[in-house]
Each structure stands twice: as structure tokens, then as C-alpha cells.
């Protein structure tokens, strides 16, 4: 028996539960600045990046006991490079050559990069609403973190933009490629952190030399960044990418500088001005607006077929022909 299908319009908003869980990742990332300045040895950004990625990746790899095979060998390498191996050093290079506010604003360009990569790799046409949301979030982050005496450095600016582009490309490619069958988000996280960490080791040794001596505070800081700020956070992040539109996940990164500002106010006694509060509202509004595409999408729902004729009606002779246009009426046009 043939089952007909009908189109119906449903909301294009992402699942609120998945969205809220994924948003925890940039909120946790926002605490990285306070942990770095208060607990970790100064002047060792690459060592910090390596300590965030490699131990967490190896622990997750041992826990999942799954290695990439076939096409996923080079895919895991590319994703590990974009999301970890290139992003981390570019992020810290921008942070060390630019004021924190300027580096954060450059990172807030990420949603715009994500919209461009999604159009190129996922055939997702950027809507006017999402473009406006990205610009609103960018302005909001600028109001939160920029200062009048902020200085510019060409290399730092390039590093900041390249880091935002690297993570945005990694996010979109993670969505495009998905995961191999039988591998969950934890396994994919393990691959990327391990690859990224291994790529960072020679760069760290070449530029910064041997590891520094660590006291108890530094060990505790690295444990927090590795376990909570990296292993758990990236697992939740990649889980969100698998369940939400790539651009929706990219917009959530705007929450990271807001979390950093709130953490600085709550834990370090840093003041928040009315202009910064306005910026927070704009950035949060841009994040929310970036979660909706602005129109419904079509999905298929089964349509109950007509009941077969009864024996009595069958004996009465052939039925009148039915219009072939009738099934077409079951198609609901997508609203503009």
C-alpha cells in the first residue's frame, strides 16, 4: 500500500534544550582569562594551549578506545588543525599582541565568517536577520570590552581574524562531515584534541622552550582548563554542532566575552559601566536573534491513505475516476 506524504511548516528555531546546553561551553570559556591571569605561569601561551588540548585528548581517546579510519584519518586531522591546532596559537598570539578588548572583538567576527562558510559549504543562504544579528553582537561585544586607549598591532589583528576564521571553518566542516557511524561526540572530541595537541607540541618547544616549573595553583588551573574548559566543554560544543545549525552554534560564541566580563566583575572586583551593560544586552540580543532563520521549513509527515473499497461497493461496478490533482492539495506551500 502506498503511503502519501504531505508537507507541513514547522518552526525553524533550534531545540531550546540543546541550545541551552551548548551555550554552557562559551560561558565556561569566558572563565579562561581569569584562570589564566590568576593561576597560570605568565608568558607561556603555547604551553597553556598544549596543556589544554593534549592531556584532555589522550584521556578521552583512552576512554573511547576508537581511532579514526579511512577517510576520517585526514578529516580528523583537518578538524583538529582548524578547531584546536591553529585556533589556539592564533588566539593566544592575538591576546598577547593586542589589548584583551580588541582580541575579543576580533573573535566576535566569528559569526560573520560562519555565515560565509555555511553559504559556501552547506548551501545555507545567509538571511538579512542573521547578518543583522551578527553585526549587533559584534557592536555589543565592542561596547563591553573596548577601551578608548586601545592600540592596534597589524600582526595581532591578522592573528585574531585568522583565529576566528579557523574556528568558524572548523565548526561548519564539523557540521558538513558529521561523524562516522558508531562514533559519538566524545570520540570526535578526542580525535580533534589529540591531533591539535600533537601539532602544538613541536611549535611550543621551538618557540617557548622546555615546560616551566608548576606550583599547586598552576596544576589546579591546568586541571580546570583541561577537564572542564576543554574536555567537557568541547564535547558539549561538538554535540551541539551535530544537533543544531552550524551558524546557530557559531553565534553562541558571542557569550564568551560576556562571561569573561561577568567573571571579572564577580571574582576579580572589576567594575561594569552602564555602557558595558548596554553592550551585554546588545550582544545577548544578537546571540538570540542568530538562532532563528526567520522562516519556516518544510518537513514530510505521513498522510493517511484512503480506505480500500468495501466488497459491496466493488460489486456495484467501477468507481468514478478520481482527479489526479487531489494529492497536490495536500501540499502546503511554504510561507514567505
Rg of the chain in Å (alpha carbons): 25
Instruction: HSE, CB side, 13 Å, CA atoms: give it for residue 319.
Output: 10
How much is the pTM?
Answer: 0.79
Check if the beta carbon of residue 11 is closer than 8 Å to that of residue 305: no
Which pLDDT does position 294 carry in this prediction?
54
Average pLDDT over residues 13-35: 88
Cell numbers at residue 209, please? Answer: 622552550
Is the pLDDT at 318 greater than 50? The verdict is no
Is the pLDDT at 2 greater than 80? The verdict is no
Nearest alpha-carbon partner for 248 in 18, 4, 6, 45? 18
Give the chain's mean pLDDT: 83
- DSSP structure string for 61-97: HHHH-----TTHHHHHHHHHIIIIITHHHHHHHHHHH
Which pLDDT does position 93 carry in this prediction?
81
pLDDT bucket at 117, cuts 50 / 70 / 90: very high
The dihedrals phi and psi of 243, each to the nearest 5 degrees, come to: -110, -15
**204-218, 258-272, 281-295, 319-333: range with lowest mean pLDDT:** 319-333
Which pLDDT does position 106 carry in this prediction?
81
Check if the beta carbon of residue 134 is closer than 8 Å to that of residue 282: no
DSSP 327: G
Which pLDDT does position 49 carry in this prediction?
92
pLDDT bucket at 74, cuts 50 / 70 / 90: very high
Average pLDDT over residues 297-307: 43
More confident position, 3 or 123: 123
What is the b/e burial string over 324-336, where b = at least 16 CB atoms within 10 angstroms of the residue's CB?
A: eeeeeeeeeeeee
DSSP 306: P
Give residue limits of the domains in the chain: 9-289
Alpha carbon distance 86, 161 (integer Å) = 12
Which pLDDT does position 69 carry in this prediction?
95
Amino acid at each position: 500500500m502506498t503511503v502519501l506524504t504531505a508537507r507541513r511548516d514547522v518552526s525553524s528555531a533550534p531545540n531550546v534544550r540543546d541550545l541551552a546546553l551548548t551555550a554552557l561551553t562559551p560561558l565556561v570559556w569566558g572563565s579562561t582569562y581569569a584562570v589564566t591571569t590568576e593561576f597560570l605561569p605568565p608568558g607561556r601561551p603555547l604551553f597553556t594551549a598544549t596543556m589544554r588540548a593534549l592531556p584532555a585528548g589522550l584521556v578521552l581517546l583512552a576512554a573511547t578506545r576508537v581511532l579514526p579510519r579511512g577517510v576520517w584519518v585526514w578529516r580528523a586531522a583537518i578538524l583538529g588543525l582548524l578547531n584546536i591546532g591553529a585556533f589556539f596559537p592564533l588566539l593566544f598570539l592575538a591576546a598577547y599582541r593586542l589589548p584583551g578588548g580588541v582580541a575579543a572583538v576580533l573573535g566576535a567576527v566569528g559569526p560573520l565568517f560562519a555565515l560565509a562558510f555555511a553559504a559556501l559549504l552547506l548551501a545555507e543562504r545567509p538571511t538579512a536577520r542573521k547578518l543583522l544579528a551578527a553585526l549587533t553582537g559584534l557592536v555589543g561585544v565592542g561596547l563591553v570590552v573596548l577601551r578608548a586607549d586601545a592600540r592596534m598591532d597589524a600582526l595581532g589583528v591578522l592573528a585574531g581574524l585568522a583565529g576566528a576564521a579557523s574556528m568558524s571553518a572548523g565548526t561548519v566542516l564539523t557540521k558538513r562531515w558529521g561523524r562516522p557511524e558508531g562514533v559519538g561526540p566524545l570520540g570526535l572530541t578526542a580525535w580533534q584534541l589529540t591531533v591539535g595537541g600533537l601539532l602544538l607540541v613541536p611549535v611550543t618547544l621551538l618557540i617557548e622552550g622546555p615546560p616551566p616549573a608548576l606550583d599547586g595553583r598552576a596544576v589546579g588551573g591546568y586541571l580546570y582548563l583541561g577537564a572542564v574548559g576543554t574536555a567537557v566543554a568541547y564535547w558539549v560544543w561538538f554535540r551541539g554542532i551535530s544537533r543544531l545549525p552550524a551558524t546557530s552554534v557559531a553565534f553562541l560564541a558571542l557569550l564568551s566575552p560576556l562571561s569573561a566580563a561577568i567573571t571579572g566583575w564577580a571574582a576579580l572586583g572589576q567594575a561594569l559601566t552602564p555602557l558595558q551593560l548596554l553592550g551585554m544586552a546588545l550582544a545577548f540580543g544578537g546571540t538570540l536573534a542568530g538562532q532563528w532563520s526567520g522562516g519556516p521549513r518544510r518537513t514530510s509527515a505521513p498522510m493517511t491513505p484512503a480506505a480500500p473499497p468495501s466488497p459491496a461497493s466493488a460489486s456495484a461496478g467501477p468507481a468514478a475516476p478520481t482527479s489526479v490533482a487531489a494529492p497536490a492539495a495536500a501540499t502546503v506551500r511554504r510561507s514567505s
